[in-house]
Amino acid sequence: MRKKELYDKVITYFQNAMPVAETELHYNNPFELLIAVILSAQCTDKRVNMITPPLYRDFPTPEALAASTPEVIYEYIRSVSYPNNKAKHLVGMAQMLVKDFHSEVPGTLEELIKLPGVGRKTANVIQSVVFNKATMAVDTHVFRVSHRIGLVPKTCTTPLATEKYLMKYIPKEIVPTAHHWLILHGRYVCMARTPKCEECGLNGLCQYSLKPTV
C-alpha cells in the first residue's frame, strides 16, 4: 500500500471513530494550559488534573505565580513527576512571561521555547491547542502509534524526525486534531505493553497488527 493511501485510510477511520478529539488537560485560559502542559511531562493528564485546581486558584495570573517561590509551588505539585524541577520551571516561566511577554503566552515556537520548562513538544501543544496552528507535538504515544501503524518509517528514530514525516502527509487543516487522535489512540487502545489489537478499528491496516505472531 502506498503511504498516501495508508494515511487516507487512517485519517478516514479517525474522522469517523473520533470526530471530537481534544486535550484531556483541564484549563480555562492559555496560561493555565501552559502550566498543565509543563506539569504533564512524563506524568499522566489524570494526575495533573487532580493537582491543578488549587494551583490555578491561588496563582491565577503570571504576576501571582512569578511572585511565589519554587519551595511554595512544590507543595502544590509534589505528587507529579520531577516536582522540584517543575516548581522551578513554573516560577521561572511566569517571571519571564511578566518580564518579556507582557504577561501573555506567546504564540511562536521561537518565543515559547525560551520559557523555562518549555521544549519543542510543549511549544507545539500550545501552538496547536491555543492558536490552532498546524503543529504536531510528538510525545511517547504519538511516537509509538505512528510507528506501529506504519505512518512513519523505522528511520524516524527521534520525535523531531517523526514530527516532520507526519507533517508531510497530514493535511495542515487537520493537524491539530490528528495530534489528539494519535495521543488518545495510544492512551486507550494502542497501549505500550498491552495494545487492544482485537478491539482496534485499524486492525488489518496497522503494520503492527499484520506482524506474524511466534
Annotated binding-site positions for [4Fe-4S] cluster? 190, 197, 200, 206
| The three cell numbers locating residue 119 | 521544549
Q: Is 139 a residue of the active site?
A: yes
Phi and psi at residue 145, to the nearest 5°: -65, -45
Rounded Cα gap, residues 135 and 147, in angstroms: 18
- List, as residue ranges, the binding site: 190, 197, 200, 206
Contact in structure between 86 and 61 (CB atoms under 8 Å): no
Phi-psi region for residue 155, left (φ > 0), alpha (ψ -120 to 50) or beta? alpha
Task: Exactly one of 121, 164, 168, 196 is catalytic; name it.
Answer: 121
Rounded Cα gap, residues 186 and 140, in angstroms: 9
Task: Exactly one of 139, 164, 172, 211 is catalytic; name it.
Answer: 139
Rounded Cα gap, residues 160 and 171, in angstroms: 18
- Closest-CA residue to 70 (of 49, 80, 84): 84
Q: Is 8 a residue of the active site?
A: no
Contact in structure between 190 and 145 (CB atoms under 8 Å): yes
Letter for the amino acid at 9? Answer: K
Residues 6+ apart with CB under 8 A from 34: 93, 105, 115, 118, 122, 126
Distance from chain centroid for Cα 52: 17
Known catalytic residues are 121, 139
